[in-house]
Amino acid sequence: MLEVKQLSKRFGAVTAVDDVTFHIPDGKILGLIGQNGAGKSTTFRLILDFIDKDKGSVLWNGSPLSEKEYNIIGYLPEERGLYPKVSIEDQLVYFGRLRGKKRKDILPLIDKWMDKFEVKGKKTDKVKTLSKGNQQKVQLIATLIHEPKLIILDEPFSGLDPVNASLLKDGILELKDSGSCVIFSSHNMDNVEQICDHLIMLKNGKTVLDGPVYDIREQFGRTRLQIESELTAEELKAVPGVIHIEEKWENVFNLTLFNEEVGQAIFKKAVEKRHYVPVFNQQPPTLEEIFRMKVGEEDE
pLDDT tens digits along 202-214: 999 999 999 999 9
131-147 b/e (C-beta count within 10 Å ≥ 16 → b): eebbbbbbbbbbbbbbb
Q: Which residues pair with 161 in a beta bridge?
A: none
Intervals of the chain under pLDDT 70: 298-300
Do 86 and 41 have their domain in common?
yes
3-28 b/e (C-beta count within 10 Å ≥ 16 → b): bbeebbbeeeeebbbbebebebeeeb
Residue of 235, 199, 230 lying closest to 217 (CA atoms): 199
Global pTM reads: 0.85
Do 57 and 104 have their domain in common?
yes
Length reported for the chain: 300
Are 38 and 206 a contacting pair, CB within 8 Å?
Answer: no
Do 99 and 150 have their domain in common?
yes
249-254 contacts, C-beta under 8 A, 24 or more apart: 252/226, 252/227, 252/228, 252/279, 253/226, 253/227, 253/228, 254/224, 254/225, 254/226
At 233, which CATH number?
A: 3.30.70
Are 156 and 187 a contacting pair, CB within 8 Å?
Answer: no
Q: What is the per-residue pLDDT for 196?
A: 93
At 48, which CATH number?
A: 3.40.50.300
Domain that holds residue 255: 224-283
Do 141 and 268 have their domain in common?
no
Cβ neighbors of 130 (< 8 A, separation 6 or more) are 88, 119, 120, 121, 138
Do 17 and 61 have their domain in common?
yes
CA distance 258 to 256: 7
Do 101 and 230 have their domain in common?
no
Domain edge (last residue) among 183, 218, 253: 218
Q: Which ranges of 4-87 does DSSP label H, i.e. alpha helix?
A: 40-47
Please indicate, yes or no, if residue 42 is contained in any of the structural domains. Answer: yes
Do 27 and 158 have their domain in common?
yes
Are 224 and 254 a contacting pair, CB within 8 Å?
Answer: yes
Please indicate, yes or no, if residue 170 is contained in any of the structural domains. Answer: yes
Cβ neighbors of 206 (< 8 A, separation 6 or more) are 18, 19, 20
CA distance 208 to 220: 14
Do 243 and 278 have their domain in common?
yes
CA 159 vs CA 33, 53, 106, 165: distances in Å: 17, 31, 27, 9
Q: Which ranges of 145-255 does DSSP label H, i.e. alpha helix?
A: 162-177, 189-195, 213-218, 233-237
Do 181 and 242 have their domain in common?
no
Q: In the chain, count of helices (H) and strands (E)?
A: 10, 14
Please indicate, yes or no, if residue 300 is contained in any of the structural domains. Answer: no
pLDDT digits (tens, 9 = 90+) for 33-44: 999 989 999 999
For the chain, give the mean pLDDT: 91
Do 77 and 184 have their domain in common?
yes
Are 172 and 184 a contacting pair, CB within 8 Å?
Answer: yes
Q: Which residues pair with 76 in a beta bridge?
A: 153
Q: What is the per-residue pLDDT for 183?
A: 95
Do 57 and 139 have their domain in common?
yes
Q: What is the per-residue pLDDT for 136?
A: 86
Q: What is the per-residue pLDDT for 165?
A: 87
Residue of 22, 39, 18 lying closest to 30 (CA atoms): 22
Do 127 and 207 have their domain in common?
yes
